[in-house]
Amino acid sequence: MSGDSKLSSAEVVLGFLEEAEPWRLLSPQFPSKVGGKPAWLSQTGLPSPAGLECEKCRLPMAFLLQVYAPISGQDRSFHRTLFLFCCKTHECYTCNDSRCLKVLRSQLPRRNEFYPYDPPPDDEPPSDCEPDQSVLSVSGVKLCWVCGCPGNKACSRCHTVTYCGKHHQTLHWKHSHKRECCNQEASIVTTSTFLFPESELVTEPEEEVDKKEGDTKEAEEEEEEEASVDCPSLAETLAETDLEEMAMHETEDNKVFQRFKKRIAPEPHQVVRYSREGCPLWVSSQHIPSDQDIPACTCGAKRTFEFQVMPQLLNSLCVDSTGASIDWGTLAVYTCSASCNHDDQYCPEFIWKQDFSSDQHTQIKST
């Protein structure tokens, strides 16, 4: 997840949020980050506005995060970033439905038309690196003032700002542009309220925890006892076979959830888990994808797991409101195992949303 990290297969790297100087989060620094506007990798072939619409409500999605994940020994993926977008309409977050999310992959060889051959310095900003969230174009492609995605719909009065569509033009007009438009004396607002708060994603390897077989067995037995307690009211109304099936389901679901909580307990603030060709850490025994659920890449190669977004990230997005919040248990991203070159500079990959049960959701929010 960083320019000098060479990850072995199935090694787990954890991502954490950290404040950073704005210049560190711009495209020439190859950042991993959450929120703000996308730091596009390839400066051409950006996704169309239609390609970044929610599949459910058809409104523009918001940029959620990007992970810089080059592949060692593969020149075409010397620079490689995965971009994740999400809908901000809470009604679209129905249980285990991933249509409100999209993930795109962009990659470049070391020698390319956009960036120097040698990596940028870590300690100081380049002289031409201007951290301006209001940037309106990339390599001649006009960008939406609100979300930073491609958009060529200009304000009909001032013609100085553009949008990805009518929805974001209306948001900006109501927020500040009505006052600013054609008014040279007005103070200019440079950051959109549509964006999530911006932070850098910094990484560190997950430490292996030694497990004692006896302790593990004892803990599992306790979990089984807790999960298999029958509710008296249910016992009076359900058949014995139904009760047994319910107990088995609750026991297995509780096992998976307790395993999830135990695994993240040493680093409770992790927001991303990266493990290319590894396995996700599921929050539930329900709605786990089979191999058939994960479509192959258009090149024919199998898609494999690469990283997941943790529920802890929701606490930092300023989206919580009673009964009206975007939500997930975990988001698992699967990418082309060959990391192929694609006709599109921003190649769609696959994402799987798994949600908590209501009881699990209460427990994880309290941790």
Residue 196 lies in a domain: yes
The kind and range of the H/E element at 105 are strand 101-108
Q: What is the pLDDT of residue 8?
A: 46
Residue 185 lies in a domain: yes
Q: What is the pLDDT of residue 321?
A: 56
Residue 5 lies in a domain: no
Q: Give me the chain's average pLDDT, please.
A: 83
CA separation for the pair 277, 10 (Å, rounded): 6
Task: Residue 197: give the domain boundaries.
Answer: 13-365
Residue type, 243: L
What percent helix, strand, coil does the chain show, rounded to 5?
A: 25, 20, 55
Map residue 232 onto helix, strand or coil.
helix
Q: What is the pLDDT of residue 229?
A: 45
CB-based contact 295:304 (threshold 8 Å): no
Residue 6 lies in a domain: no
CB-based contact 96:283 (threshold 8 Å): no
- The structure tokens listed for 360 are 């699990």
CA atoms within 13 A on the CB side of 133: 18
Angle between helix 358-365 and helix 240-264 axes, rounded to 10 deg? 20
Q: What is the pLDDT of residue 228?
A: 45
Q: Which residues contact 228 (CB under 8 A, 6 or more apart)?
A: 247, 250, 251
- The structure tokens listed for 70 are 């080059």
CA separation for the pair 251, 240 (Å, rounded): 16
Residue 160 lies in a domain: yes
Residue 241 lies in a domain: yes
Domain count, the chain: 1
CA separation for the pair 85, 91 (Å, rounded): 16
- The structure tokens listed for 68 are 């810089």
CA separation for the pair 196, 87 (Å, rounded): 12
Question: What is the block-wise mean pLDDT of the chain (367 residues), using blocks of 10 residues?
Answer: 50 96 94 96 93 95 97 95 96 92 97 92 67 62 88 83 86 77 63 88 87 47 47 51 57 90 95 96 94 96 98 87 76 97 89 83 57
Taking CA atoms, 256 is separated from 211, 249, 367, in Å, by: 17, 11, 17
Map residue 143 onto helix, strand or coil.
strand
Mode of pairing for the β-strands spanning 79-86 and 347-348: unpaired
Map residue 57 onto helix, strand or coil.
coil
- Rounded to two decimals, the pTM is 0.83
Q: Largest Cα–Cα distance of the chain, in whole Å?
A: 76
Residues 27, 30, 34, 40: what is their CA dihedral angle, to the nearest 10 degrees? 40
Residue 253 lies in a domain: yes
Taking CA atoms, 282 is separated from 152, 168, 246, 360, 367, in Å, by: 41, 35, 20, 12, 17
Q: What is the pLDDT of residue 76?
A: 95
Name the nearest CA neighbour of 330 among 317, 316, 311.
311
**DSSP notation for 279-311:** ----S-SSSPPPGGGSPPPTTSPPEEEEEEE-G
Task: Supply angle C-alpha 289, 291, 297, rounded to 5.
Answer: 105
Residue 1 lies in a domain: no
Residue with tokens 């135990």, as numbered in its chain: 262
CA 236, 239, 244, 246 torsion-angle sign: negative
**DSSP notation for 328-367:** -SEEEEEEETT----SSSSEE-EEEEEPPPHHHHHHHHT-
